[in-house]
Amino acid sequence: MNVLVTGGAGYIGSHACLRLLNDGHAVSVLDNFVNGHQQAIDVLQGLAEPGRLTFCEGDLRERDKVAALLEDRSIEVVMHFAALAEVGQSMGDPLLYHDNNFVGSLSLLQAMDRVGVRRLVFSSTCATYGEPDQTQIPIRETCPQRPINPYGASKLHVERLLADYAGSVPEFAYAALRYFNVAGSDPEGRIGEDHRPESHLIPICLQAALGKRDRMSIFGTDYPTPDGTCIRDYVHVVDLVDAHVHAMHALEPGDQRHYNIGIGKGHSVRECIDTAREVTGVDFEVVEAPRRPGDPPTLFACCDRIQEELGWTARYTDLTETVSTAWNWFSAHPNGYED
């Protein structure tokens, strides 16, 4: 199958490319390198069979370029990961987020419409749910979507755009995957996670273990949880990509699918820190800080729908195993991708 991966030089997108190549698909990547890395593409090209991977540097808002890529590569399905995803940044610059995430997705869909590509797997987020009442935990797909930041709102707008378009084009099919906290790296250490700046808990722990940070902070220790710190659902990036592949193969004309992707249970901030210390063997410094606004005590997913409909379940459900794959990458690449 000919697959276009938008944002394929980024963390999740590059892992999706690796899986698709391993499965024998022809992969085309579109990335503007705002958050992606040339070195990730270089690694993928070194692993790909000749002619199986094509890279195009560009932005989704370059509609003519996107349409030409779709047509030239005879694309059959799009995996759409290209987005900005920092909640704090979105609060400070909402126009940037709506332009990049929503307008970029609109441009992609217009290009697909022009060329006649009718299948899309969309990287959405649990941020579309906002702050669910704790009685709604674990979160199901039927939970009201009330985002509390521009990042979550921009993703929800795309979901609504896809539904509107599907209502007018019966052949179009899409799946929106709302995932929770993504962690881990390729178990063989070929590609990994490199965000700048880094805001994800597990990489921050590992950077502290590497001495890249003097210390790390726990934001809030008085939540109504067993150890007083927030609890979140950490899904391994390999499992997340596997869910995208399941969704891609399941799409039939007219499908409008929505799935939560997680492991169905949560781990606290202190659990993540303790696990990182155990895996790395480093007792890095941790300080306590006040709560951050908008951090619910507990968030984790109910993944019954995708299990029942597609047969997908997470394989990496042990936190130590997930952190170990991340450490395998970080310890070998203490400076991340050095492009």
Q: Which residues are catalytic?
A: 151
For residues 149 and 90, give the distance between their C-alpha atoms in angstroms, rounded to a whole number: 7
Q: How buried is 113 (Cβ within 10 angstroms: 0-12 exposed, 13-18 middle, 19+ buried)?
A: middle
Distance CA 188, CA 18 (A): 11
- 156-159: list long-range contacts, CB under 8 Å, 24+ apart: 156/124, 156/128, 157/98, 157/101, 157/102, 158/101, 158/102, 158/105, 158/122, 158/124, 159/122, 159/124, 159/128, 159/258
118 contacts 112 by C-beta, under 8 angstroms: yes
d(CA 92, CA 150): 9
